[in-house]
Structures are given as C-alpha cells and as structure tokens.
Amino acid sequence: MIKICKNSVLTLAACFMGILALGACSATPTATVEPTEDVPTLEATEVVLVEEPTPTDTPEEINECVECHQDKQRLIDNAAEEEEVEEENSGQG
C-alpha cells in the first residue's frame, strides 16, 4: 500500500483550491459587436426544371474491365503459367 504523507495531501488540496479561486476570478469578456455594414438579403429565384436525357440519347459506354473479366476464354488465354518457386531451405548446402 502506498503511504501518503499528510503534508502532501494538504499541499495538493491547497493547490487545487488556489487553481479554482484563480479560475473563478477570471472574467470572460462579453463583447457585443455592432454590424458595420448592411447584411445582404437573398432574393427568391426562379427554379427551372431540366429534363434528364433518356438512355437512348447517350451512346452506351463499354467497360473494358467488365468485358475482359466476364470473357472466360480471354481470361484463359491471358493467364500466365505458374512458376515453380524453389524454397531457399531446400537443395544442397
């Protein structure tokens, strides 16, 4: 068990009370700021609806990634053969 000296407890309590007293004495400034310029007001504007293009209006984009990954034969043709890796711990020596 830790022995706490009576003097150290009293010192800590006095420091804590001093910090509280100093904190309570500090006044927070309450500044009132008067506007120097007129604040512009926003006016209502007219909303215009724009028609979205139909799917037939835009040409169909081809996603090469999807095309390549869905083509099984292309995947087989482009696949690299696996190389047999010799372990460092095997062999002579």
Q: Per-residue pLDDT tens for 58-83?
A: 556 677 888 877 888 888 888 888 88
Task: Quote the pLDDT of residue 30.
Answer: 65
- What is the rounded distance in angstroms from the CA atom of residue 12 to the CA atom of residue 4? 11
Counts for the chain of helices (H) and strands (E), in that order = 3, 0
Task: Quote the pLDDT of residue 55.
Answer: 63
Cα–chain center distance at 72:
39
92 has pLDDT over 80: no
Specify the pTM.
0.26
Averaged pLDDT, 36-59: 73
